[in-house]
Amino acid sequence: MFVALLTGCTATASQSDSIEVSASESTQSEQKVDTAGADGHMQLKSYSGTLNSAKISFEYPDLWSVVEGPEGLQPGQPDGLEVNNHAGDRMATLVVLNVVGFRQPPDILPVQILAVIPGHELLSKTKDFTVQTLAMDLSGRPQAQARNGWTNNVRVGVSISAGTANAPEEMQPELLTSTVTVETGVPSYLGSETSRQVSFATLRDFDSMEAAKGYTKGSEFTALQKMLASFSG
């Protein structure tokens, strides 16, 4: 059994010998798409590719860029990419994993649900997904912040999440993001169709919960939500 450790939008994984994994193929379309946004119209481009045998696509703002194989991925890890804004800052990371597993967490703490919106399409044409935004406050707990790799008091996680059920009320401080399952259409050696776990997410740290909530009212957050909601796989 192969296990991946996923922390926010950074993960490590091992490939199963029983699954045939194809080379990554992708295309970035320069065709712009008019989509209504909070400011009237948001110019979008589309990305489509095959990462770790999973066919995926999404739309992203015209001034942003997609970089395949970001430096944050570990050697030997299945395919991934990052989306950067016009200044080169990382906006989100997408990683396609064989299996997702987590070590026993030291803390399970309350989270605030800041936003949940539905995805535009069904995953593998059969399953709903949402884009959920969760926030956790570790003010006054510097050791917990350091242990979980935080840089400030409040962390916000924005990610695609399976199903349409209510977002969790408690989570691990080291996570705050979810994954979804997509079918690859590629049979395993047993003949069954293989699947992959996809993390499409971003993490942001803030000084206060008020600042975190303020971020969700801005145009960058709106663009992030729209990009993640457009995911198809």
Q: Please tell me the pTM assigned to this model.
A: 0.75
Residue 4: the pLDDT is: 32
Report helix, strand or coil for 100.
coil
- Give the pLDDT band (50/70/90) at residue 13: very low
Tally the C-alpha atoms within 13 A of residue 74's C-alpha that lie toward its C-beta. Answer: 13
SS3 142: helix
Note the pLDDT of residue 12.
Answer: 30
**How do 25-37 and 10-12 pair as beta strands?**
unpaired
Give whichever of 4-8, 98-102, 125-129 has the largest mean pLDDT. 125-129
Burial class of residue 30 in the structure, from the number of CB atoms within 10 Å of its CB (0-12 exposed, 13-18 middle, 19+ buried): exposed
H/E element, 214: helix 209-215
* 3-class SS of residue 78: coil
Task: Give the number of other CB atoms < 10 A from CB of residue 42.
Answer: 19
Q: Give residue 68's pLDDT.
A: 86
β-bridge partners, 84 = 65, 90
The stretch 217-222 carries a mean pLDDT of 95
Decide: helix, strand or coil at residue 160. Answer: strand
Beta carbons of 215 and 203 less than 8 angstroms apart = no
With a cut of 50, say whether residue 146 has pLDDT above it. yes
Distances (CA, A) of 129 to 49, 90, 119, 124, 132: 20, 23, 5, 11, 9
Mean of the pLDDT values across residues 43-65? 93
Residues 6+ apart with CB under 8 A from 52: 15, 21, 24, 78, 79, 96, 97, 98, 196
